[in-house]
Chain A
């Protein structure tokens, strides 16, 4: 197999692995955060505004880890720099 095939195979596998592993830990983290926030709101309904605002900010922080993985996977699949380098080098 030539190098472009290898680059294609490895890029797709790396994108899938990146997304699969990178989605697990933010999912666990968000689940814990929401669980804590819900029980806090159930205990103190008066503070629901402050809790949910902080929850949103925290969720955005946690979620951005998954978003980094998503961006890297999408770059690997749709705008792969190594792939285009090889294609440009072979004059395709």
Chain B
């Protein structure tokens, strides 16, 4: 039994091997781009809105309100492209599990690792852009300078945790279904698969919210100081 779609080679051309992860990632990308194109094709502010535009506005407003609740102040529009893309990509690739024969690209540690590294790189970028390089780096030395290795370890471990959490949830979902197909073939796998859809959506939400929490923690470092002094 394969625990990751990386080993599933779909196409071989010379030394180029296309595995299932890459192909299904492309499928998700194509689907998202086509949906976005179809929704924004005839966008307009006045008059009756099309269904596509209405759905797209609902999604964007929902994501923005969630981001605003975490980041706490205006300026949430800076994060919508990154966080919203993360959420939509993970949610789409998890929910497409209803398509028979689908291998979710998030069930591979390569995909989730890449997404987690994107988050880990974007945190200092957003932080330095907001509070400046000196203030950002100063956080690593607070409260005392020998906390530096601990801050480093926490950055690395939370990135690994982000990747393994998503991978473990999605991979274990399809694995439990495969094992149940052997034990109780008819009814139970359907229920578990329905549960997997919920878990996939929750994990997409959690991945996006955790990325937002990390970014917000890096961005709001400037107001940590006065709070610490007053208490």
Interface residues of A (CB under 8 A from B): 49-50, 53, 56-57, 60, 63-64, 67-68, 70-71, 74-75, 78-79
Given contacts A50-B69, A75-B3, A79-B3, contact A67 B205 (CB under 8 A): no
Closest chain B residue to A59, Cβ basis:
B206
A78 CA to B174 CA, complexed, in Å:
14
Q: Which residues of A contact B171 (CB under 8 A)?
A: 71, 74
> Contact size class for B?
20 to 34
B202 and A67 contact, CB distance less than 8 A: no
Contact B3 A78 (CB under 8 A): yes
From residue 161 to 204 of chain B, which have CB atoms closer than 8 A to chain A? 161, 164-165, 167-169, 171-172, 175, 202-203
In the complex, how many angstroms separate the beta carbon of B34 from the nearest chain A beta carbon? 31
Closest-by-CB residue of B relative to A73 is B172
B165 partner residues in chain A, CB cutoff 8 A = 60, 63-64, 67
Query: Of all chain A residues, which has the CB nearest B109?
Result: A71
Q: Which residue of A lies closest to B162 (CB)?
A: A64
Q: Which 4 A-B residue pairs are closest in the complex by CB-CB distance?
A: A67-B168, A60-B206, A64-B165, A71-B168
A60 cross-chain contacts in B, Cβ below 8 A:
165, 202-203, 206, 210
Residues from chain A with Cβ under 8 Å of B116 in the complex: none
Assembly CA distance A64 to B164 (angstroms): 8
Beyond A71-B172, A75-B3, 4 extra complex contacts between A and B, CB < 8 Å: A60-B202, A67-B168, A70-B168, A79-B3
* A75-B3, A79-B3 given; A56·B168 CB < 8 A: no
Contact A67 B209 (CB under 8 A): no
CB < 8 Å A-B pair total: 45
Q: Interface 1/0s, chain B 1-24, versus A by CB < 8 A? A: 101000000000000000000000
Contact partners of A56 in chain B: CB under 8 A:
202, 205-206, 209
* CA distance in complex: A85, B205 (Å): 39
Complex alpha-carbon distance, A70 and B175, angstroms: 11
B168 near A78 with CB under 8 A, answer no
Contacts of B205 in A (CB 8 A): 56
A57 / chain B contacts, CB cutoff of 8 Å:
206, 209-210, 213
- Beta-carbon contact of A53 and B69 below 8 Å: yes
Q: How far is the CB of B205 from chain A (nearest CB, A)?
A: 7
Q: Which one of A57, A60, A74 has the greatest number of beta carbons of chain B within 10 Å?
A: A60
- Do the beta carbons of B3 and A67 come within 8 Å of each other? no
Residue of A with least CB distance to B158: A61
In the bound complex, CA of A76 to CA of B14 (Å): 33
Are the C-beta atoms of B164 and A71 separated by less than 8 Å?
A: yes
Alpha-carbon distance between A60 and B210 when the two chains are bound, in angstroms = 9
State whether A67 touches B210 (Cβ < 8 A). no
A56 CA / B213 CA spacing, docked (Å): 13
Once bound together, how far apart are the Cα atoms of A78 and B172, in whole Å? Answer: 12
For residue B172, which residues in chain A have a CB less than 8 angstroms away from its CB? 67, 70-71, 74
